[in-house]
Structure formats: C-alpha cells, structure tokens
Structure 1
C-alpha cells in the first residue's frame, strides 16, 4: 500500500451497472460453447474494462479506482416509498446469470469491486466522493447517470465513456438549468418516471429549473408557493408538498453510507496475469485473452473447443452488410411503382410486410398504410389513410397529399397477399392478417419472425420487434413516441405526416426482413423447425379466426352481477366492521394490520420495512383457522377483484358492432408454450369458487345455438405418468379409475371401496402439487396440516412412485447441463436461471421440472386446434375460445352431438402420430346456453 489518500490523489469510480447494461444491449447474445451459458454481457463488460484501463495512463491517470455495483433491488428508499422503482422492467432472463460473473471479472482485473446491501451504487459513489473531496483529492465518476450530477463540483467531475465527454459544472447546468447544488431540487419537482419518483404533477425539468432559479431553493419555493401566479401550478405545489418533499429525499444521495472499506483500499493495483488470463480462458474469450496476454507480455492459455458437435453454437445466416438508412426508404404513391415492387416480390418468392393502423384493436382499427421490404435496406411505405388538418365542422378530415388511392392499393396487393407461393414475412403476423381480413383479403403463405424467435429462444428474452432488432441486428428502431407522442397529447397514426411515417413504417418492414434472414437458417441448426412449422406457424390463422369470431356476452347479466357483488361487498364490510369493533377501510392493508395485530391482538404479526404489518393472502389464510375476521377479508377481496376485473371491466370490452368480446391471444407469452390472452384476459377467470364460476354465466350462445365446452381430463397427470414411467398410475388411467382415489389407495393403503373424501382430497393436493414442485411448507398450507405431516406425505409419495423422483432428478440434471428442457414434441424451453443460488435456485428447478409436462400439454392442445377447422368445416360450428386445457365452441343446437363427437376425436388423438402416449387422453364435454352451463 502506498501513501495515504490525500492531496494529489485522483479517484476514479466506475458505475458498474451502466457498463453491464451498455454491454448487454449493445452486443448480440453470446453463449459459452462448452455449456451454453450466456456470456455476451460479460464479454462486453471485460472489453470495456480493458479499454478503460488502456486509455487511462499518463500524468492525469487515476491513483485509486473502484467499480461500484448495486447489491439488490431493495434499499432504504423502498422503506420510505414502497413504489420506488416499481416501474422498472424485470431483468432479462439471460442477463441474470451474468451479473455475478461481472463481479468476478472486476476482481480478475485486480480492480476493487464494491457493493452494499440496502444502499444503491449511487450512495456508495456519493460517500466516496465526499470522503475524497474532504481529503483534498480529485474524483472522476465514470458514468452519464443524471442522478450523480448533484455531486459535480469542487474537484469532482463525471466522464461519459460512451461519448468520451467530461461533464463538469457547465455540463450539469446545460442538462438541468441549475448548478449541481440545486439538481436535487429540480429532480424533486420534475420527478422521474424511470425510478417512479412522483415529483410535482405537470412540472417538467425546464419549469422546475425556472422556479428554483427564481426562488433560490425548493424549501423557499414551497414556503412561498402562494406567490405563484399560475393557479394550477400554485395549487399543485401547495397540495403536493408532502409528495415533493418525499421526492427530494428519494433523489438526494446519501453521503454518509456506512462503508466497510476505506479510500486507501482502492489504490490502483496491477492485474495478476495468471488470475486475469485464467478467468478470460474460463469464459472462453479467445480474442480478448490473446489481446490481454500480449499487453501483459504473458503466455496466452490454450482454450479448448469443448462443445460437442450437437451443442455447438448455431451459426447464423451471413449478414448483409447494409447499414440502416431511414432516408433511403421510398414513399410509393404511384400504382405503376407499386406494381414494380410486387413484381420483385413475385420474382424472388418472398417479401416482408407490415401495416400501420389507427388502433391496436384489430376489430376497430383502420388501415393507414402498408410497408414492403424486398432486401436489407430496400423498403417502401404506401400511405393510403393519412389525413391533414383538424377536420371540418362535421368531424371530417382532408386526405393528406402524396398518397395512393385506398382501393387501388388493396386491389394491387390482394393477389400477392393471397398467393401462397409467395412468402409474406411478418413480425406478429396475426395482427396484420386480421387487418387485411377486415378488407376482404385472406393472407396466405406466411412466416413470422416473432414466432421464430419464440421457437429459438423461449425463456431467454421477449420477442417484440424493437427488442429483437437491438439484440440481433444491433439497431435501435425509431421510437413510435417520436411520431404519435404519449399521454393526453397522443395522436393516431393517420395524423402523422406522410414524410415522417415513411421513415418509421418502412424501417419496420426492413427490420422484419433482416430478422427473418437471421432466424430462418437457425431453425434447423437449433432443431426447432418442427416446433415452428408444426406448432407455431399453422396456429396463426386459427387464432386469428377465433379472435374475429369472438364470444357473445350479455351486458345485462354482467351489470346485475356487478350490483350483486357490490351488495355482497357491503354486507361483508358490515360483518368485518362488527368483528373489528369499529369502521375502517377494508381495502387498506395498513389499517387492516393495525386492527388485527394492534387492536385485536392476533399472534404472528410481522412488520415490513415500511412499518406496516404484512396482510397478504397467505397470512390471512393462516389466521382464518383461528379467527373469523381474516376469512371475511379474504372473501371481500375475492368479490372485489371479481367486480373490478371482470363484471365491470368486461362491459368495456363488448364490441359495439358485434355485441361480442374479442380477446387477443398471445402465442409467445409463456415460455412453456401455453397461450395467454389479453384485452380482456379470459384465461384467469376463477372457477374454483361459486362467485368465480358465475362470471361464465354472462358468456352466452345466440338464439338457436348452444355453447359446447370440451376439456382434457387431468392431462398433465397423464403426461407425468407417461414420461416418468409410473406403471401403477398408467394402469389406473387405462382402467378409467378415479386417479386421486387410486393414488390415495397406493399411498395410504386404503382400499378403494373404503376411500373417504378427506383422504382423496389429500391425494389430489399431492398429485397436482408434485407437478408444480410443491414443498412440504406449501402442501401444509394447502391442506391446513402440520408441515412435518405434509413433508411425510411427499416423502411417502416418492417412495410409492419412485419414477417421479427419478424423472425430476434427471430433468434438473439435463437442464443444468444444457440450460434448456424439452417437451415431447421438441419445444425447447431455456432455463438460464438453473445455475442460480439461493431461493431462485429452488424456483428454477421447479420450473424446469414442470415445463416439459405443462409444455407437452400445451403442444397437444395446439395440435388439436390446428386440426380443428378442417375437421368441423362441414358443421355449423365455430371454435371461440381456448382456456388452457379447454376449448369452447358455438354450434347450432341440432348439430351439438356431431360437434362433440368430432371435436373429442380430434382432441383425444392430437398427440398422434408423433407421440404414442402410454395412457389414453380423455376429453369431457358439456353443452348449455351459457359457458357456465357448458363447463
């Protein structure tokens, strides 16, 4: 250790998270060849550290250096304000396992690596800055984070490594309109949507800076708020004072963080070649290892290619080296020019297509324009529905100049779009197909880059176009907000100027084509062609047709239910208030906690960091075994959710023209292959309670028709019996036994003819619990029995059915070796968290065990849905909904029996001929005038 930190010393502090996220988003994904571990962000991070080290020599070089990281997501600010950073998106799944490796990388470079539980990296940086300044030294913060700008001045500067730019006092004033010492005042007023700092509504950074410069400080401004001339601003500052003062506390960095190290511990140290090169070799970074070995004048370690041939990283298609250039895109308004684009598409046999519309709901959206791309960088936009001006007295708007006639455009495109011999490439084809269907065009011959990504990378990341473009093309698309704005001032796309629309819309088609060029060759290499071609692509037109059909919903029934639920809530509130001995807000967890634990003295109350008692459903369930009030609150919460989420909200989703609800299915929402539905979500309607089941009464059949529901019976248990090879379960399924009674008999030695409902209930809980990797603790809660007894049940279950434990162990081992699991139909579900430590490890293992079972069930019903339209083509029937293991149809009353026979046959044989299950698939059928009657 050298001299003590003081005058003449120069401390550099690197914002570690900024380096990581920059590396992650700037580079395409990369996996370690030997085991498939994601390492793209680690590679970028190491390269950035190396460039930083190489670029900081000479007289102004740092004498002390540290990389500062965030330890966890919960800090003292969350205790102050529980919504702090609540808007932040979850960390990408493939980045999570790389985070600890970036710490290891920092230490391998022999650079101090610091983080603290309960404090943000910014607080550690702030404390070190203050200590260094007090000691007479200088500081450079390597970051562009605006939150750190409050520290600048008196020997402290920031350095934006991406722009190679120093941020000093002038730079801060340029950004905030005030000096560093008043940055927190401006931030307290302006708030921060990224960190969810509330601020003063309606006041942005410019206005905040004007106010602070006028009054001198936030405190002075708030004390003299009455002097503000603008009424709305004055009212905001007076009424939101507490919120603004809280915001200042949230943005003010803590310069007194209790550090467990000193400035002297951060003195620059030379890397130890053996350690650094050993880490880089372990990561299998060949180029970087050689470069650093040369720089350190040390021998480069040999990195063996450990990847087996089958597991080698898939090679992508050769990329066309064409830069993105929005100015090169063409606006097509002349029919003759469009005919040339169509001729090119026909000649080469493929074209990327995208639509621009006035709404996200395809049932009400109007077409505004169509984009085409025939090669990377060669794209056009055909505007047909843009308007200019604010319209006349009667609400009309003039058509913008420079467009093609609407009918002419569609007449020219229709033969191309309906020709199955020319491949139309979309990103989320279902949306565009439904738009074209609104104008009588049935698109045939499609590819979908979103679904290709889903087949290739399920479980690793999302599949939206912007994210895929950034990740796989290294290109940030033009944000839609730049064209249509946001919030109350947002406009629809038809109001966007044609010139601006061309750049944005044509780029979408260009990106889609390039993604297709990258993904298509990877399908066979990654062995997921069968999944994409057999399970994903053919499902698109089926779902599109189901969504267009919609399901008839009776508004009056929903309205009556809403009123009934409101009365039920009022009745429950009265009972709760009587049990509590006073009135309080039942919907307030804080007030409920005080009633239960402070006033009524219930045992087991635990306070969170905010000082409020925890009153989650699990706690109320435990308490309800001894007290009446918690059970009533659970009932109130359930009825409240049914009212707000379903009976009230569903009324808003009834289409004015059709009288039906048209949900939208998300094919790539769940990693396992399960469909999800949105706007509205019809897959989460609870059916285990009487009130929940009643919601389905509002879904009805038109006059002369009935609804038919067909539901796979215990499909996941049947798949488990097959994959785990459990003979006793397979035999029970073959013989049509009550599987839960059979399990109970096998486990507890009770003859079937002496089975009680209680013993059967316990076996049922274990059967379903095991599929989802339930713990002894979870089963104890479900069955309301001691934990030791529940664990005993699970242990006995595994003893009686050893194949299940063998399957679980083998599946986890496979996941750990390959970082993915597979369904029986070859769907790959990536499991990047399988190597995690702590509580996440248990969750990742349970997910890996369940995914092949749930995924296989999802694949089977997908196969049934794909075959169904052809099977029922001659029947007066429509397939309306899919809810997990159930399909709902609308059919003429006199054809219901024939539909049931046909649809059952399709569903029960859906696994064939790819998979011959050892157990039969059984489908239960029901019919009625409502979904509730049919189910």
Structure 2
C-alpha cells in the first residue's frame, strides 16, 4: 500500500494538490482528565484529534500525526490547521468520511463548519440494498463490516493495533499505526466509489439524497451533538421527588380499594389482571396478540365507562390507574431518563440523533429519546421547562407549520386544499366546513355552536386522512385521544363527506396504492424508497398496513427531506454565525441557543433557510413559526 506518515504542511499540500475529492478520518484520544473514561475518546469536549489521514486515490493515503505522546508529530500545526480550515470549508472539493457526524463534531470544536460538497459513506450504506428488498441498517454499516463485503479486504481491528492503549500512546512512525490510520480513509474512499457505482446503476435518486440531503444533515447532527442540551438539574430533582411522592400517594389510594394486590410499576401485573377479570369478574374489553387479557390505557378507559353504568364504585379505581401510569411515565421517561444522561462535567445532555433512524427518513433519537419530548401544546407537567438557556442567552425555536398537511395538499392536488394554503387560510376550519357541510364562516367562528368539538374532529381527520383513515380508526382516535365519542355511523359519514369535499384526496390515495401494489414500494418526491412486500399479501391486516405505509411514506418522508434540506442551508451560513448554536431537533422543529441580541438576525436567517422552496415542483407555501424563551417550556411566539 502507498501509505506514509507526513509531518509538514508542504507534504500535505503536495498530496492533496489539485484534488477535487478526498476521504479523511480522525483518530482521537481523551485528554488527561478523562483517561479513565473509555468513551471519552468519542467526545469532542473531552478528547482531541490525535491524527488525520487523507486518501485521494485507491491504495494511497497519508497520515498526519498531531498529538501523539511518543514519536514525532507534525510541525507548525497552526499553519496546518489554517490550511485545513480552508479545505474543509471549501465549496469546491468533495469531502468524504465514514460517519461524517463524528468528524464534523471534532471540526466544529475547533470552529470549523464542514461544507458541501460532502459525502457520508454511512448514510450511503443505509440507502443501498443488502438484499433484493432490504436496505442496510446502521448496524450493517460499520467500516470493518463493509470493507470485507464490498472491497474484499479485511481491516485490522482497533483493539488489535492499540492493545488496550489510547491511539495517542502509539508511535506514529510505527508501520502498524500508519497502516491502521491510513486504511480508514483509503477504504472510505473505495466505498464512496462502490456506493456511487451501485446508485448510478440501480437507484440514482438515492445518490442525490446522500449528496444533497443526508450528508449535510450528518454535519448538522455532529454540531447538535457537540452543543448538547443544557438542563436545569435542580428543577428535575425537585420534580423527581414530587413525582415519587405523588406515585406513592396514588398507589396507597389504589391499595385502599384493591387491598394488597401487587400492581407493579405500571399497574399491568398478572396479579392485577387476575384481580380485575377473575376476582371482580369484569368483562374482558381487549385481548393481546397472545390472546391474553389486555390491561393497556384503552382498556382502562373502556372499563371505567362500563363501570360508570354497571359498577360505579369502581370508576375511581380506573381514574387512579390512569393517573398512576401518567406519573410513572413522567418519572421514568422524562425525569429519571433524562437525569441518567446528563454529562456532569458539562451539565448537558448529548443525545444520539440518527437521521436515518426511521424508514420514512425522519430522525430517531436515543440516549435519551428526545423525539418523544412532549409537544409544546401537550406538556402539562412542564418537561420542556427542564431545557434551559445559559446566562445571557435564549432558546430559539423554529417550527414548520403543518408541514405534512402542506405536503399532502401538494401531492393530492386538491383545489380546495391548495387554495386554503396559498391564501393563508385555516385548513382545520376548511375541513370542518367540508365534513359538516357548513359554510366556512361558521366553521371558523369560535362562538358558533359545537365549534370546539367539531374543530377537534377536523384536526384528527386532517392528521390521519392522508394515511388511509378508516371509520373504526377515526372512532378509536377520537375516543381515546380526544375524549369524543362519535358513533361508527357518524365516523363513516365524516369520512365520506371528507372524501367528497376533497375529491383530489381519494383519487391520489387510490393511485398511490395501485402503484405500490405493482412496484412493491413507495417513495418520497426526491426518490427516497421504502419497500412494502406486504402490499401483495392475502392477509388483510398485512396488506392494509402496507397500504397505509404507502400513503404515509411520500408525505412524512418528503416532509423529512424538506427539514433536512433546511438543515443543509443552515450549515452553509453557519461559519459567519458561530454564535448561533443548533442544539436540538424534534419532529418538525429546530431549536437553537444564541445571544439574546442576535434573535432578530437569527430568525430572518433560519426562516429563509426553512421556507425556501425545497424543490422546483413544490408550489405550496412553507411557513416556519418562531418562538423564543429562557426555557423550552415557556417560549413566546414571535410575530412576523
């Protein structure tokens, strides 16, 4: 192999001379304070870049040692970093990395925002097929896994080279050190070519998604990971104690009704179910997939309703069980769960955000799951208040307004929907007008009879209609999520009126399902594909689920692509705005930390990034709504 160690800026420039494409990889090691923390090498707050490898052609690479504790390191590193900053922020050179989020995080720690064109081979891996109908997962996409499978070469494991040491303890002049570091960038470059050849042959649109959507998003993810989320630990501990006390109080009240029956942490033990269905003889309202008695939240609601007529003395029990579960989830998920991931050295949570964590292309999150953070209009406990701005700064949130509905209107081309959005109208009032066949003015009148209930039903229809709403599903949603109890016949009428009032909708749904039945896949406008083998199943349940996925994917997936394109635009303008710190993404919302006196400037910039026409065909106005506050739970909406 043409691998070598270089020490001067001139040598680096000579190797990278006239290149329009290079792959790179960082070796990192923890600083002295965190040498006992094995995971610290992956944290840009606690580790440094030990060395960088570059590859511009297959079988060649250079390694630049920067912070090794033995042997020789590169000379005049200030000049090297000055050159590298220009290189990584260049808009003329393609930068390729395997796990671009990791590399961009370490660059951002040095004040460098990596720019397009860039390419993340992990993202490319997850958008290529490993079998006829199955895309690779994140677990299938490690460099050491892909190289043998696609490049026919075994790569040396990190542990074999380091033998329990950190990378900065290795001598950079040692052949094994050089070979290990250089192989990472060399095989990343090879994968770049392998994946692009595959894309060009089988799925050209996925190559565009990798280059234009997913790779810039990876940079954005690395920056969010570095910035993290500042939380009010004292408020969380206070709420934790309050929740624990509340749980004990509710449990004692339940015990006063049922005695010493063990209910567990979620009131779903076999002992509790035996008490309900055997000892009390209550009717079985639902069964599980294993044909056992269900005891989920819906069951508790159904039992409470049944008891209101037949056993009124038990109504309080089911109210208490729902309250017990609510406080249990609050404590375990949002208090204990968040507290577990606070970095005590920094005081922040740094969740793992996975931009390809779902089949539609929407983000997923873990450690902790920030995607299930309550919506701003459904946070009665104040979980969002845990997320705060540091002294002298504020939080700024930009949230897409009804982005999936706008995408749905774009797809189905219904004239009434399009007109509503193009004129800045109220889509929920329009849907109320459609399903109840009343004038729009009456539907929009807050003082009109039944306004609140009708609007609630219209909202639930809007958020489910594009995904193949059935009368039973609508009835269940309204009953268990909105507390409204329409009859099945009423739900059938609502859906019938909806389809006749929005004729473009039903036509689009039929076309999508027919296309998916032929091709066995559905895709977003940009071509992000999702295979749906169940759509040809003779099993009605499997086929019905696949049909809903076929309808869901174009809308939810295109909305996800629009958000990611906005992230890419923000990255382009971030080098001149390093005071603007992306820190969180939840659903259709981007959250930032910034100085208070920069809010107006930031809003103008971010709104432009989010509201820009995402692709030429998209002809529905996009609206991003801004709000600002000292904590995430008390954000004040800003006027345009």
Instruction: Flag whether TM exceeds 0.5 (same fold).
Output: yes
Asked if structure 1 preserves the Cα contact closer than 8 Å seen for 2:104 and 2:223, the reply is: no
Q: Which runs of 5+ in 2 are unaligned?
A: 30-38, 307-314, 480-484
Instruction: Tell me the residue number matched to 2:35.
Output: none
1:743-769 per-position Cα deviation (integer Å, ceiling 9, x unaligned): 122112244243431222222222212
How far did 1:554 drift?
A: 1.4
C-alpha distance in structure 1 between counterparts of 2:110 and 2:608, whole Å: 35
1:675 to 2:378 alignment: no
How far did 1:439 drift?
A: 5.0
RMSD over equivalenced CA pairs, Å: 3.8
- Could you say which structure has the larger radius of gyration? 1
C-alpha distance in structure 2 between counterparts of 1:362 and 1:618, whole Å: 45
1:232-252 per-position Cα deviation (integer Å, ceiling 9, x unaligned): xxxxxxxxxxxxxxxxxxxxx
Instruction: Tell me the residue number matched to 1:719.
Output: 407
User: Cα gap change, 1:713/1:425 in structure 2, threshold over 3 Å: closer, same or farther?
Assistant: closer
Asked if structure 2 preserves the Cα contact closer than 8 Å seen for 1:700 and 1:707, the reply is: yes
Instruction: Tell me the residue number matched to 1:863.
Output: 565
- Look up the SS of the partner of 1:858 in the other structure: helix
- Look up the SS of the partner of 2:373 in the other structure: coil
Asked if structure 2 preserves the Cα contact closer than 8 Å seen for 1:459 and 1:830, the reply is: yes
1:534 to 2:216 alignment: no
- The structure showing larger relative contact order (alpha-carbon pairs under 8 Å, at least 6 residues apart) is 2
The partner residue of 1:765 within 436, 460, 472 is 460
How far did 1:414 drift?
A: 6.3
TM-score scaled to structure 1, two decimals? 0.56
How far did 1:592 drift?
A: 2.5
Asked if structure 2 preserves the Cα contact closer than 8 Å seen for 1:539 and 1:862, the reply is: yes
Instruction: Tell me the residue number matched to 1:361.
Output: 43
C-alpha distance in structure 2 between counterparts of 1:501 and 1:590, whole Å: 57
The partner residue of 1:426 within 93, 97, 110 is 97
How far did 1:715 drift?
A: 1.5
Matches within 5 A, 1:684-833: 684-687=372-375, 694-750=382-438, 751-752=442-443, 753=445, 754=448, 755-784=450-479, 785=485, 786-787=487-488, 789-833=490-534
Instruction: Tell me the residue number matched to 2:309.
Output: none
1:64-107 per-position Cα deviation (integer Å, ceiling 9, x unaligned): xxxxxxxxxxxxxxxxxxxxxxxxxxxxxxxxxxxxxxxxxxxx
How far did 1:380 drift?
A: 6.3
1:546 to 2:224 alignment: yes
Matches within 5 A, 1:310-709: 335=7, 343-346=14-17, 348-358=19-29, 359=39, 360-378=42-60, 399=69, 403-405=71-73, 412=80, 415-416=83-84, 418-419=86-87, 420=90, 422-439=93-110, 443=114, 446-455=118-127, 460-463=135-138, 464-466=141-143, 467-469=145-147, 471-473=149-151, 505-524=181-200, 526-528=203-205, 529-587=207-265, 589-604=269-284, 613-626=293-306, 627-687=315-375, 694-709=382-397
C-alpha distance in structure 1 between counterparts of 2:566 and 2:410, whole Å: 19
Instruction: Tell me the residue number matched to 1:259.
Output: none
1:854 to 2:556 alignment: yes
1:602-644 per-position Cα deviation (integer Å, ceiling 9, x unaligned): 2116777989643334433433433443443333233223222
- Look up the SS of the partner of 1:544 in the other structure: helix
User: Cα gap change, 1:745/1:655 in structure 2, threshold over 3 Å: closer, same or farther?
Assistant: same
User: Cα gap change, 1:644/1:357 in structure 2, threshold over 3 Å: closer, same or farther?
Assistant: farther
Asked if structure 2 preserves the Cα contact closer than 8 Å seen for 1:351 and 1:374, the reply is: yes
The partner residue of 2:544 within 824, 828, 842 is 842
C-alpha distance in structure 1 between counterparts of 2:304 and 2:65, whole Å: 62
Stretch of structure 1 that moved more, 343-352 or 473-482: 473-482
User: Cα gap change, 1:459/1:924 in structure 2, threshold over 3 Å: closer, same or farther?
Assistant: farther
C-alpha distance in structure 2 between counterparts of 1:701 and 1:628, whole Å: 41
Instruction: Tell me the residue number matched to 1:313.
Output: none
Asked if structure 2 preserves the Cα contact closer than 8 Å seen for 1:597 and 1:605, the reply is: no
How far did 1:679 drift?
A: 3.4
Asked if structure 2 preserves the Cα contact closer than 8 Å seen for 1:831 and 1:848, the reply is: yes
Asked if structure 1 preserves the Cα contact closer than 8 Å seen for 2:261 and 2:275, the reply is: no
How far did 1:519 drift?
A: 1.9
User: Cα gap change, 1:461/1:621 in structure 2, threshold over 3 Å: closer, same or farther?
Assistant: farther
User: Cα gap change, 1:788/1:363 in structure 2, threshold over 3 Å: closer, same or farther?
Assistant: farther
How far did 1:565 drift?
A: 1.6
How far did 1:427 drift?
A: 1.0
How far did 1:558 drift?
A: 1.4
Matches within 5 A, 1:219-298: none
TM-score scaled to structure 2, two decimals? 0.79
How far did 1:431 drift?
A: 0.4
Instruction: Tell me the residue number matched to 2:310.
Output: none
C-alpha distance in structure 1 between counterparts of 2:476 and 2:350, whole Å: 38
User: Cα gap change, 1:602/1:407 in structure 2, threshold over 3 Å: closer, same or farther?
Assistant: farther
How far did 1:724 drift?
A: 0.7
Instruction: Tell me the residue number matched to 2:599.
Output: 896
Q: Which runs of 5+ in 1 are unaligned?
A: 1-327, 387-398
User: Cα gap change, 1:604/1:469 in structure 2, threshold over 3 Å: closer, same or farther?
Assistant: farther
Asked if structure 2 preserves the Cα contact closer than 8 Å seen for 1:356 and 1:367, the reply is: yes
- Look up the SS of the partner of 1:683 in the other structure: helix
